[in-house]
Amino acid sequence: MALDALPRLLSGAMRVHIVDPSAYTPPYDHALSAALAAAGADVELFTSRFAYGPVPAPQGYLRHEFFYHSTRAARGDSRAAQRARRALKLAEHVPDMLRYRRLAREADVVHFQWLSVQQLDGRLLPAPGPGGRPCLVLTAHDVLPREGSARRRAAQRRLYDRFDAVVVHSEHGRQRLTHELGVDERRVHVIAHGAFAHLADLPAGPPPFQTDKRVVLFFGLLRPYKGLDVLLEAWRGIDDAELWIVGMPRMDIAALLADAPPNVHFVPRFVGDAELPAYFARADLVVLPYREIEQSGVLFTALAFGKPLLVSDVGGFAEVAQRGAAHAVAPGDPAALHDALAGLLANPAALGALGERALAAAHGDYSWETIASRTLALYEQLLSA
């Protein structure tokens, strides 16, 4: 423990830095920071400007747009803007991480959410200072990068050894870290993802499409591992409902658009917090047919809205389904997904029961009050060691 941290701990004012350099998950960063602050911690969030729109205003914590100032000139979601942001970020990454390393000495705990340049970041983390370094925690939102080279994956594995603790959102993630990657099980801690109640509290505008039919919603970045091809194949023959596919493409979707049935609506762009409630409020069922996943912010948005969920039986999704807060089917199986979609849409009572259990989970084990309590207990355990 840093010697200068002792007075702060005795006074109950633990200083916590939440660090997400690339602003990959602003809703998560906000919810965690606000919950830790409400529980009594002195919290500062160090991140960068989110390229796609406004983010939640800080509640009880300080927010610093500390990283990647040059990327502000390359806003938007076009491929050219994305490439420009990547180039600018890479140029600024090392100096910004070194600048932050000096500030990190003021904290008792530094909790990284993402590190995007795995080959470098192990050497750029906060180093020991005159009074000792802060405790370092990393949340493994993805146990290994889904995209990139074997070298990048190996660098991610080495990165875990630089942290005092690694947080995962599911038992599945813990098993992968300890058994598949060989991370010391004493440093791996399961703390659930939280339901985004702050999104459910926002006003819902008019629905984006007018329909009297039931609505099935797929929401989030469009990526190959999320099983959109499986969903569209499973959707064939379902004529008495509409499927809304909403999110910014991170893949070529031309073939999906060309082959989609007429009762499928695409919104292929980023949808921010102001628009999001209109989609979730109107949805009768949220479907996440992923091929693989650790955990998903979209799932925890649906829980906060009390929406029935149909998910693949993979990763952390399976654990949510085991609690009764979602219905799970085998991944990559269009026939099974079709039967589940048709069965749930024809059974309002089953949809209602799923929605009730989803909302109960959001206010119970997946509430941010519960998560903040467990996270602070972890910090205290590390500081007392």
Give the tokens for residue 65: 């747009």
Q: What is the pLDDT of residue 85?
A: 72
Q: What is the pLDDT of residue 383?
A: 94
Q: What is the pLDDT of residue 5?
A: 44
Closest CA to 36 of 107, 140, 141: 107
Helix (H, G, I), strand (E, B) or coil at 359: helix
Give the tokens for residue 174: 């813990």
User: Model confidence at 268, in pLDDT bands (50, 70, 90)?
Assistant: very high
Q: How would DSSP label each residue in 255-290? A: HHHHH--TTEEEE-S---TTTHHHHHHH-SEEEE--
Q: What is the pLDDT of residue 10?
A: 42
Average pLDDT of the residues in 269-290: 97
Query: Which range among 84-88, 350-354, 372-376 shows the weakest confidence by mean pLDDT?
Result: 84-88
The structural domains of the chain, ordered by start, are 3-194+367-384 (3.40.50.2000), 198-362 (3.40.50.2000)
Residue type, 158: R
Predicted confidence (pLDDT) per residue in 196-226, tens digit: 999 999 999 999 999 999 999 999 999 999 9
Closest CA to 39 of 301, 383, 380: 380
Residue 353 pLDDT greater than 70, yes or no: yes
User: Model confidence at 74, in pLDDT bands (50, 70, 90)?
Assistant: low
User: Model confidence at 117, in pLDDT bands (50, 70, 90)?
Assistant: confident
Q: What is the pLDDT of residue 130?
A: 54
Give the tokens for residue 232: 């569209």
Q: What is the pLDDT of residue 83?
A: 75
Query: Residue 14 and residue 6: Cα distance in Å, rounded?
Result: 9
Which of 7-11, 85-89, 186-190 has the largest mean confidence? 186-190
Residue 6 pLDDT greater than 50, yes or no: no
Residues of the chain with pLDDT > 90, as a percent, come to 80
Q: What is the pLDDT of residue 210?
A: 94
User: Model confidence at 128, in pLDDT bands (50, 70, 90)?
Assistant: low
Q: What is the pLDDT of residue 1?
A: 40
Taking all residues of the chain, what is their mean pLDDT, rounded to a whole number? 91
Closest CA to 298 of 216, 149, 195, 368: 195
Q: What is the pLDDT of residue 118?
A: 83
Q: Is residue 37 packed enough to be buried (19+ CB in 10 Å), middle (13-18) or exposed (0-12)?
A: buried
Q: Are 326 and 304 in contact (CB under 8 A)?
A: no
Q: How would DSSP label each residue in 159-218? A: HHTT-SEEEESSHHHHHIIIIIS---GGGEEE-PPPP-HHHHTSPP-S-SS--SSEEEEE
Predicted confidence (pLDDT) per residue in 138-186, tens digit: 999 988 877 667 787 788 889 999 999 999 999 999 999 999 899 999 9
Half-sphere exposure of 185 (CA within 13 A, CB side): 7
User: Model confidence at 3, in pLDDT bands (50, 70, 90)?
Assistant: very low
Query: Residue 59 and residue 36: Cα distance in Å, rounded?
Result: 10
Predicted confidence (pLDDT) per residue in 82-99, tens digit: 777 778 878 899 999 999
**Prediction pTM value:** 0.91
Residue 262 pLDDT greater than 80, yes or no: yes
Q: What is the pLDDT of residue 4?
A: 42
Residue 288 pLDDT greater than 60, yes or no: yes
Predicted confidence (pLDDT) per residue in 15-63, tens digit: 999 999 999 999 999 999 999 999 999 999 999 999 888 999 999 999 9
Tell which wins on pLDDT, 176 or 4.
176
User: Model confidence at 7, in pLDDT bands (50, 70, 90)?
Assistant: very low
Q: Which residues pair with 287 in a beta bridge?
A: 310
Residue 312 pLDDT greater than 70, yes or no: yes
